[in-house]
Chain A
C-alpha cells in the first residue's frame, strides 16, 4: 500500500478550517462556536489516545488485551444504551438487557468473522479484531437503543390497549406483538437504509478510508460488503434479543403488564 503520510502541519491546516468556521459562527452570533471547538478538541484527544492504545496492543499482540478492550467497549456501549432510554428498567435489567444482547450478538458475529471469514493469523490479530468489533458493536448499540426506547415507550402509552388484549384472554406475546414489530422496524431501518443507499448516495466511511490509505477499490468494496452484512446480522440479532428480553421483562409470570418495572428518567 502506498499511503500519503500526514504531517502535523497538514493536520493543523484542517484544524485551522474548523477554527475559521468557529470564528464565522461568533461573528454571526449563532452561538455554536464553543461546542464546536470543544468537540473538535475532544475528537483530537480521544482519537490520539485510541491511536496510542491501538499501537500498544498491535505491538504486544496478546489476546488478553484484545479481550480487555472488547469488554471496555461493551461496557461503554451498555451505558450509552441506558442513557438513551426515556423509560428504563429498574435495577440490573436497565443495564443488563442492552449489554447482554450486544454481547451475545456482536461478540459472536465478530468471532465468526474472525474465525471463518477474514481468518487472520492468529485469529485474534488485534489489527482485525478491534476495528471489526468496533463497527459491529457501534451499529448494534444504536439499533438496540432505538428499538428498546420504542418498545418501552409503546408499553407506557398503549397500556390500555395491551391490557385490553390481556383481558380478552390473549397471551403476553399476542398483547405486545404490534409494539414489538414497530420497535424491530425502528431498530433495523438504519442498517437497511445504509445497505440500500451505499455506493449510490454515500460512500461508506470504512471503504473511503481504505481507498484513501491506498487499497485497491475492488478489495475495499469487498471488505465493505462483508462489513455491511456483518453489521446487519449483528444489529438484527441484537435487536431481536433485546426486544425478546425487554418484552419478557414487561410481563410477569401471571402475564400482567408490569409498568412498575420501568422508571422514568430522573
Chain B
C-alpha cells in the first residue's frame, strides 16, 4: 500500500520498504541514524532521491499539498502557531478528544499553557483530522505517562483498522516495539535500512 524504493538523502539511505494496509512498521536505530530525516523525506519536506508510492501513485504524480494530507507526519516536537488549540483544527467539533483522555473544552485551551505531553497528544489528533492514509509518527509516546501512551497505541491501532491505513512508528522502547510492530526496519549508524 505504501512503499519506498531506494529512498535517500545525504543523511540516510538508501532505504526500501513496503507496508500493507492496516500494518504498523516500527523504525529503530541509534540517534543520528536518520529516522526523523527519513520521515521528513517521505512527507516530501526535504528533497530526496528514490521513489515513494502510495496506493499505486508515485509522490511526484500528486500535488504536494494533497500528498502531505495523505501522508501525515507527527514530528517529535510539533509546532503550534495560533493562540488556542481549536484554531489549528479544520473542524474542532468533529475531533474525538475523549479518545486521548481530554475533556470537551480542550479546544478552547491556550497553547502556551499546554504541557509537552498534552501538546504531543493534541498534535496526533491534529494529524488524524486530515484523515491521512499513512501515519508517520516520530516517537509519539516520548513525553507520555503509561496510561496516555496506552491510549495513543490503542487510538492508532483503531485508526489503522477503521481506515485501512498504515503507519511508520519511531520507537526506542523494546516493549512498545513488541506491542506495535508488524514489521521492524532498523537504520544503522550510517543510515542504511535493514528489514529485521
Interface segment out of the listed A38-46, A121-129, A248-256: A248-256
Interface size class of A (residues with CB under 8 A): 10 to 19
Give the interface size class of chain B. 20 to 34
**Measured CA separation A163–B45 after assembly (Å):** 8
Cross-chain contact of B69 among A164, A169, A256, A257 (Cβ < 8 A): A169
Residue in contact with B68 in the complex, picked from A160, A167, A257, CB distance below 8 Å: A167
- DSSP class of B's interface residues: helix, strand, loop or mixed? loop
CB–CB B79/A169 < 8 A: no
Interface string of B27-47 (1 = CB under 8 A from A): 000000000000000011111
Beta-carbon contact of A167 and B73 below 8 Å: yes
Contacts of A167 in B (CB 8 A): 43, 45, 68, 72-73, 75, 127
Closest to B68 in A: A169
**B78 contacts the other chain (CB 8 A):** yes
CB neighbours (8 Å) of B81 from chain A are: 158, 161, 164-165, 178
Please name all residues of chain A whose beta carbon is closer than 8 Å to the beta carbon of B98 when the two chains form the complex: none
Contact mask B77-90 → A, CB, 8 Å, 1/0? 11111000000100
Known contacts: A169-B65, A169-B69. The answer to whether A256 contacts B78 by CB under 8 A is no
A166 within 8 A of B: yes
Taken together as a complex, chains A and B put the C-alpha atoms of A158 and B79 apart, in Å, by: 9
Contact of A170 with B by CB under 8 A:
yes
| A23 CB to nearest chain B CB (Å) | 55
The CA of A1 and the CA of B46, in the complex, are separated in Å by 66
User: Could you say which of B69, B79, B127 has the most chain A C-beta atoms within 10 Å of its C-beta?
Assistant: B79
A171: CB under 8 A from chain B?
yes
Bound Cα distance A248, B109 (Å): 34
The answer to whether A164 and B65 touch (CB under 8 A), given A169-B130, A254-B44, is no
Given A164-B81, A166-B68, A254-B64, 19 more pairs with CB closer than 8 A:
A161-B79, A161-B80, A161-B81, A163-B79, A164-B75, A167-B45, A167-B68, A167-B72, A168-B68, A168-B126, A168-B130, A169-B65, A169-B68, A178-B81, A252-B47, A255-B64, A256-B44, A256-B45, A257-B45
A residues neighboring B (CB under 8 Å): 158, 160-161, 163-171, 178, 252, 254-257
